[in-house]
Amino acid sequence: MPEIWLNYGPTDVVLDIQAENLGQQLAAEGKTLADTEISSRLDPLDLTKPLEIVVLNNSKAVQKTLLALFAKCEQKSFRIPRIFAEKKIMDALKNSLPEGSSILEFEKPELSNSNLVFIGEMEFDGLFGFESIATRLLRKFGAEEMLLAYEKRKGELPAPGQDVENVSVAKQFVDKFEIFAIEIASNSNGIVDLAIGHPSSTMSVSKPFVESATKEIGKHRTLIISTGKESSNDSLDKSLSALWNCSEAVRNEGLAVLLAECTHGIGSSAIQYYIEGQMSLDRLKKPAKYINGMETLLFLTELQKKFQVGIVSILPEFYLKKLNILSFSGVAQAMNHILKVQGARQKVVVVSDGARLLLR
């Protein structure tokens, strides 16, 4: 019996599956940068300035880049930049940095500080094609512009890894500010590419990211999908991006089961309003105002017209029933459901790095 370990929140859980039930196990591949290459990519940063590094998402790739930056400062006897982050990731980030490192909460309402350097790991995004530093800043600080970006979406289905028109809204938004960005593309093996510059230009790492992430596997009846890292499954809104990435590989009337702990809950105002009966699905097509996570609810309901969605999480079953999502208490229960409903000989495709994999 194969023993497959899959990420679930801060830990990994085992999927016990019979050999005859395992179709494929998929993870991202591709050449990664050596430590010396990562260090040399950081050379454009002017470390003589009092830089303020703002961490937009926590991951091993982000931590590795920060450590390389610290080593560079120490080597040249420069002061280590101040580190800022959102409150929810501060503790996890601090534990990964050298002893004595301090992290402050990022609460600045404007982006006019030329010493600001934003760092983040690129992922796929159903609305913008790619979740980059530019799109993250737009979501965080550009509420009015987000309505325009939503109206310019490609369609009613997610478009991860695609070049879409509305990404221009994010570029135009960040063009207003004199700031710097460290954009990272990675997979479970390491850092694939790294770019430094203005956030409107660092999206160039999307090309090698797509190349390393894309797999042509055809259509399958059943998929079990782990996002591959805690930062990509800390909420339902965030973890569903892995479902978007794999959706083209699910047959009509098939089943996709997401493995996502969701320690921070729903993570989407739009989904929360819908669950509480304060918003209808009809409002999603042409809204007068953008509400955080509208696209997630839209994409989910449209994909559910094609196939069934299940999830292993700590979310209340009451919430998931409202969203028409099958709820499982553990991966073993999910596997038992698959074999009971689809037959004892059902082949299952297991995706172990769904946040950084693009199935076609």
Cα 183 from Cα 118, distance rounded (Å): 8
Cα 153 from Cα 240, distance rounded (Å): 18
Residue 351: which of 266, 244, 264, 262 has the closest Cα? Answer: 244
Mean pLDDT of 137-163: 94
Burial class (CB in 10 A: 0-12, 13-18, 19+), 58: buried
What b-and-e string marks burial along 270-295, b requiring 16 or more CB atoms within 10 Å of the CB? Answer: bbbbbbeeebeeebbeebeebbbbbb
Cα 325 from Cα 328, distance rounded (Å): 10
Cα 104 from Cα 1, distance rounded (Å): 47
- Residues 106-132: pLDDT tens digits? 876 667 788 899 999 999 999 999 999
Whole-model pTM? Answer: 0.92
pLDDT band at 188 (very low <50, low <70, confident <90, very high): confident
Judge whether residue 1 has pLDDT over 70.
no
Question: 197 has which bridge partners?
Answer: 181
Task: Decide which of 80 and 276 is more confident.
Answer: 276
Average pLDDT of every residue of the chain: 92
Cα 223 from Cα 24, distance rounded (Å): 10
- Residues 322-342: pLDDT tens digits? 999 999 999 999 999 999 999
pLDDT reported for residue 99: 75
pLDDT reported for residue 108: 67
Judge whether residue 151 has pLDDT over 80.
yes
Pairing between β-strand 348-351 and β-strand 129-131 as defined by DSSP bridges: unpaired
Which domains are seen in the chain, by residue range? 3-27+216-359 (3.90.226.30), 35-210 (3.40.50.11440)
**Cβ proximity of 153 and 131 under 8 Å:** no
Residue 12 CA to its chain's centroid (Å): 18
Question: 183 has which bridge partners?
Answer: 120, 195
Burial class (CB in 10 A: 0-12, 13-18, 19+), 199: buried
At 301, the amino acid letter reads T
pLDDT reported for residue 218: 94
Judge whether residue 294 has pLDDT over 90.
yes
pLDDT reported for residue 143: 86
**Cβ proximity of 265 and 293 under 8 Å:** no
Please tell me what DSSP assigns to residue 350. E
